[in-house]
Structure 1
Amino acid sequence: MEKSRRKELSYNYVHSHREMGVYRLLNTLNGKSFVGSAMNLNGVWNKHIFTLDLGGHMNKELQNDWKRYGKDAFRYEVLELIKPQEDFVLDASDLEKYKKVLPDLEEKWMEKLSPYGEQGYHKLR
C-alpha cells in the first residue's frame, strides 16, 4: 500500500467518530444483565469477550456464567448511543465533553433495568 494512502487511512481512523453510549451483556438463558457505558462500544465488547474467554473478567458472577453457558448464551446490545455534534471527533477536549455524559446515561439504564440479584450481575451499592 502506498505510504500516502496508509497515512490517509490512519488519519481518517484516528479522527473518526466511534460509537459511544450505554450497552448491556444479556444472558439469554437466565435473563441476567450486565450494564455498562463506553467511549468505544465496539472496543468494549471485544474487551469483554477477551477477558471472559481468558477467565479474568472483573465480575466473577458474569465470568462463572460465561464459563458455564458459553459465549453463545450472551447477547451484546447497545441501549443508547450518544450522538456526536460533529462527524469527526477532533481532539481530546471534544472527547471529554462526551465522557461527562456517560455516567448519567448509565445510571438511567441501571435504574430502568435494575440489573441486580436475579435480574443481573451488579451488586446493590
Structure 2
Amino acid sequence: MDKTSRREAIRQYKERKVPVGIFAIRCRPTAEAWVGASRNLDGQRNSSFFSLRLGSHRNRDMQAAWKAHGGEEAFEFSILELLEDEDLGPLGRDSWLKERERHWLAQLGARSAV
C-alpha cells in the first residue's frame, strides 16, 4: 500500500460514523436478557464476549449463565435501537441512551448488562 492509499484509509477510518444505541445480550437456553446502552455498538459485542470468555465480566449473573450454558454458542448479541439524531450533543446523546435503556429494560423485563 502506497502512502497516499494509506493516508486515505486512515482518513476514512477516522471519519466513519460509530453506531450509538441500545443492545441486548440473550441466553438462548434460559431466555434471560441483559440490556445496555453503548456509544460504540461495533465494539460492544467484542468487549462483552471477551470479558465473559475470560470470566471477568462485571455482571456476575451473566457470567454465571455463560459458564452454566456453554459460553458463546448459547448467547446472542442484538442491537435493539440505533440513535438516528446525529445532531444531539454529548449531553443529549447520554440522556437519550439512559431513557431508551430504561424503556428496553422494562419492555423486555430484562436486567442491566452492566
TM class by shorter-chain length? 0.7 to 0.9
**Aligned to 2:109, which of 90, 105, 114?**
114
1:31 is displaced (CA, Å) by: 0.5
Runs of 4+ in 1 over 2 A off after TM superposition: 97-100
Q: TM-score, normalised by structure 1?
A: 0.80
Work out the percentage of aligned pairs sharing the same amino acid. 28
Call closer, same or farther: CA 1:83–1:62 in 2, change over 3 Å.
Answer: same
Partner residue of 2:19? 19
**CA RMSD for the aligned pairs?**
1.9
Q: How does 1:1-125 map to 2 (within 5 A)?
A: 1-69=1-69, 70-85=71-86, 96=90, 97-116=92-111
In structure 1, runs of 5+ residues without a counterpart are: 87-93
TM-score relative to the length of structure 2: 0.87
Task: Please identify which structure carries the higher strand content.
Answer: 2
User: Which SS does the other structure have where 1:76 is aligned?
Assistant: strand
* Alignment CA distance shift 1:20-1:61 (3 Å): same
Unaligned runs of at least 5 residues, structure 2: none
